[in-house]
Amino acid sequence: MIPALLPLAPFLTGDYAGHRDSFAVAGAGEAGVPLADAAAVGAALTGFTAPLGPARRVAAVSQWTKSYFAALTIPAVAANLLLDCDLPLAPAGGIAMVLAETGRPCGFRLPGDARPLAPAQRETACGFTRFSGLIDDHLAAIIPVFAAAGGVPQRMIWSNAADYLERAARLLLPLAAARPDCATAAAGLDALLTTPHRPDGSPNLLHEPVRLMNGLRTRKVCCLRYAMPGEDFCGSCPKRRRAEAARTARG
């Protein structure tokens, strides 16, 4: 864990303990895939998807990006929401991706430590401004690269990013609720997921990634995990929910 994020350790426990080590400050000679290099990023993605064959390409791209957003989102949102910190996430700034032995993303090497949020970000009630480092500097820059490399719609990848943002909100908003100083930031985070348009009127690509179906958390866009070797429907699969509803209707 990078030095500025050490206070997050008590919050990242249980299933989330692995996120403590998602970010490290890059040291001399340490390897990583530079996110500013679209060809290198594409090669990393292709290295994971190609062995699975063309029939599973779209599903493999989806699962690879899910691993990416799992490593990225929860600690980045926690740093912003609970510590008033911004991370240097812009691909052009020198951030690099770390790959596990499986070829999936598992962490990041940053060009520097976290820094305090700018006053305009810290004091605003607008979540799009507060979390612009994650959304505009990072997601809006890297998702088109993933989509082009994988030959998939950006919408699918944005849905995966939004799903992990919603997971971060479910984990972190109850913690923020106990801290009056986090109320404005918490409202901004919630608005990222519940507002259909951004302040400039453009569509909010993070809007409502999950819904309740029969009282259960259900993704709006299927992540295709069931199409991967040895995998089944994910716990939030809309296809699974529809099948369950149909069985119930038939009695």
What pLDDT digit, counting tens, does each position of 134-166 carry?
999 999 999 999 999 999 999 999 999 999 999
> Residue 35 — very low, low, confident or very high, per pLDDT cuts 50/70/90?
very high
Distance of CA 103 to the CA centre of its chain: 18
The answer to whether residue 28 scores a pLDDT higher than 60 is no
* The pLDDT value given to residue 218: 85
Report which of residues 27 and 128 the model is more confident about: 128
**94 and 36 in contact (C-beta within 8 Å)?**
yes
The answer to whether residue 228 scores a pLDDT higher than 90 is no
* The pLDDT value given to residue 39: 97
CA distance 184 to 117: 14
Mean pLDDT, range 61-80, rounded to an integer: 94
> Residue 239 — very low, low, confident or very high, per pLDDT cuts 50/70/90?
confident
pLDDT in tens, 9-23: 887 777 777 778 899
Residue type, 67: S
* The pLDDT value given to residue 247: 66
| Exposure b/e, 129-164, CB count within 10 A at least 16 = b | bbbbbbbebbbeebbebbbebbebeeebbbbbbbbb
**65 and 157 in contact (C-beta within 8 Å)?**
yes
Q: If you average pLDDT over every residue of the chain, what do you get?
A: 90
pTM value is 0.92
The answer to whether residue 249 scores a pLDDT higher than 70 is no
Mean pLDDT, range 171-193, rounded to an integer: 91
Say if strands 96-99 and 33-34 run parallel, antiparallel, or are unpaired: antiparallel
pLDDT > 70: what percent of the chain? 95
The answer to whether residue 248 scores a pLDDT higher than 70 is no
pLDDT > 90: what percent of the chain? 65
Report which of residues 2 and 69 the model is more confident about: 69
> Residue 242 — very low, low, confident or very high, per pLDDT cuts 50/70/90?
confident
The answer to whether residue 121 scores a pLDDT higher than 60 is yes
What percent of the chain is helix, strand and coil (3-state, nearest 5)?
A: 55, 10, 30
CA distance 225 to 104: 14
* The pLDDT value given to residue 51: 93
